[in-house]
Chain A
């Protein structure tokens, strides 16, 4: 199945720094989602985006639906230790099947 490319693959940052990651697809989507997976747990939905150009926030997290509909971006401001985990993007054109990104592993150094 189709897989989305996430960048960077891993990040090591100091507590308090801002984080940016992105996700790209070879085809267009109508919905983009961002998930976070805590160590040893299942991924949990953070943000959903339904319209090209849309910018949506959830606390310190902000995600954007790219205007080309082939990419999405996630920013985390003022990182804290509990932000540690793997972040996955996911996209769908019809809602019948979601394709997941390769993941960005985030480590926050206190």
Chain B
């Protein structure tokens, strides 16, 4: 069966520090991968998606970047965090062209102080 792992679960970082959040998927190959951000109690904002290794599409201009160094690994990064980067970050995967929807990870709560 397919599983998605996201870590860390919580993170408190000072303003100006770097960020690296990691997401891995097991039990499938060539998944579509997504990074979402969610402000407290609000909707899901799509940040990045990837249809293959090294292929990253950005939905909104921001202080963050994403990379996909391996087929089932998706990394969200920042060189210098801003206070506004605080939020709940969710990784998700899907199979291209199927209507089964996305499977989400358990999320990372990032607080920038």
Contacts and interface: CB of A to CB of B under 8 A. Distances in A.
A48 B100 contact: yes
B101 A88 contact: no
Nearest to B6: A42
B43 A102 contact: yes
Contacts of A44: 104
B44 A88 contact: yes
A12 interface: no
A4 B64 CA distance: 25
A95 B107 contact: no
A98 B94 CA distance: 10
Cβ-closest 7 pairs across A and B: A42-B104, A31-B99, A95-B99, A102-B43, A33-B101, A100-B44, A103-B43
A62 interface: no
What secondary structure prevails in chain B residues at the interface with A?
loop
B41 interface: yes
A interface residue count range (under 10 / 10 to 19 / 20 to 34 / 35 or more): 20 to 34
Nearest to B96: A96
Given A42-B90, A100-B44, A102-B43, A1 B96 contact: no
Interface in A47-100: 48, 50, 86, 88, 90, 92, 94-98, 100
A94 B51 CA distance: 15
9 contacts: A31-B99, A41-B106, A42-B90, A42-B106, A44-B104, A92-B99, A100-B46, A101-B43, A102-B42
Contacts of A97: 49
A105 B92 CA distance: 21
B105 to A, nearest CB: 5
Contact of A98 (B6, B42, B101, B109): B101
